């Protein structure tokens, strides 16, 4: 019989062979549940390592992103005392933002180098990275809203939503939105510079956000309002007791940062 250490190594090997079970998000979830806490912990460590790595093949990781950043996975993570699910979600949010940042870096290098990034800049907002981010981050926001809609019913049962997990998901979600808005601003700025170089006399000299950047910021503000301010928001169900004061403060501060 394998030792506990060997079993962990075997599990890690299975998790590392991601392509075999990430083609379908349900397989990922069932695999993790079947293997229990050990597999969840190893998956967490693996994801956190991957999101910090360089040279990640984002196309192959897309199935991980889609599997983890879905409402069902996010919502279940909020209901577990362990923070492993929430940390996996946070890692995937980080990976998603790094994917976009790398695309912006590529455009910037081309623009400042050979100056041949016109097509890349003008079509940036329709790139795979941006459309995937729209869909996936929208799914996480949907999960949080679903958590709020279920909160009253959950309070009548033994099921709980754990504040630490809410904090992890919300903080990283808002950070992802903030980074994405900054990336959009960088691309919009390069596009305006490009137009001036090509003889566009309509530029006033001051920065004007692109329609895509404005739309993104408005959606983020709308989600924050629904999450934080409305009576039906998840924030309204976080008690004002001393034990929850830090959670309320952390979430509020992160929302303010994202609105700047």
Give the tens place of pLDDT for each residue, 207-243: 777 888 888 888 888 887 777 666 666 666 655 555 5
pLDDT band (50, 70, 90) for residue 28: low
At residue 84, does pLDDT exceed 80?
yes
Residue 91: per-residue pLDDT: 93
Residue 52: per-residue pLDDT: 82
At residue 175, does pLDDT exceed 50?
yes
Give the tens place of pLDDT for each residue, 180-211: 888 888 888 888 777 777 765 565 566 777 88
Q: 3-state SS string over the chain?
A: CCCHHHHHHHHHHHHHCHHHCCCCHHHHHHHHHHHCHHHHHHHHHHHHHHHCCCCCCHHHHHHHHHHHCCHHHHHHHHCCCCCHHHHHHHHHHHHHHHHHHHHHHHHHHHHHCCCCCHHHHHCHHHCHHHHHHHHHHHHHHHHHHHHHHHHHHHCCCCCCCCHHHHHHHHHHHHHHHHHHHHHHHHHHHHHHHHHHHCCCCCCCCCCCCCHHHHHHHHHHHHHHHHHHHCCCCHHHHCCCCHHHHHHHHHHHHHHHHHHC
Residue 147: per-residue pLDDT: 76
Which of 58-72, 100-114, 232-246 is predicted least confidently?
A: 232-246
The model's pTM: 0.78
At residue 110, does pLDDT exceed 50?
yes
Burial of 124 (0-12, 13-18, 19+ CB in 10 A): buried
Q: Which residues of 137-158 are buried (b: 16+ CB within 10 A; e: fewer)?
A: bebbbebbbbbbebbeeeeeee
pLDDT band (50, 70, 90) for residue 21: very low
């Amino acid at each position: 019989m394998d030792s506990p250490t060997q079993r962990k190594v075997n599990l890690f090997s299975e998790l590392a062979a991601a392509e075999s079970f990430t083609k379908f998000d349900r397989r990922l979830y069932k695999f993790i549940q079947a293997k229990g806490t050990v597999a969840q912990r190893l998956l967490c460590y693996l994801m956190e390592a991957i999101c910090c790595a360089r040279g990640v093949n984002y196309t192959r990781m897309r199935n991980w992103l889609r599997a983890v950043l879905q409402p069902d996975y996010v919502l279940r993570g909020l209901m577990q005392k362990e923070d492993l699910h929430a940390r996996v979600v946070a890692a995937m949010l980080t990976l998603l933002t790094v994917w976009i940042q790398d695309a912006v870096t590529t455009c910037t290098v081309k623009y400042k180098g050979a100056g041949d990034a016109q097509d890349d800049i003008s079509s940036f907002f329709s790139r795979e990275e941006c459309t995937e981010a729209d869909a996936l981050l929208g799914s996480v926001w949907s999960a949080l809203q679903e958590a709020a809609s279920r909160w009253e019913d959950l309070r009548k049962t033994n099921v709980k939503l754990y504040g630490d997990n809410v904090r992890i998901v919300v903080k990283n979600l808002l950070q992802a939105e903030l980074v994405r808005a900054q990336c959009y601003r960088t691309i919009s700025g390069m596009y305006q510079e490009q137009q001036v170089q090509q003889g566009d006399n309509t530029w006033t000299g001051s920065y004007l956000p692109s329609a895509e950047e404005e739309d993104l910021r408005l959606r983020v503000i709308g989600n924050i309002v629904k999450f934080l301010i409305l009576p039906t928001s998840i924030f309204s169900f976080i008690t004002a007791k001393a034990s929850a004061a830090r959670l309320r403060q952390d979430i509020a501060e992160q929302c303010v940062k994202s609105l700047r």
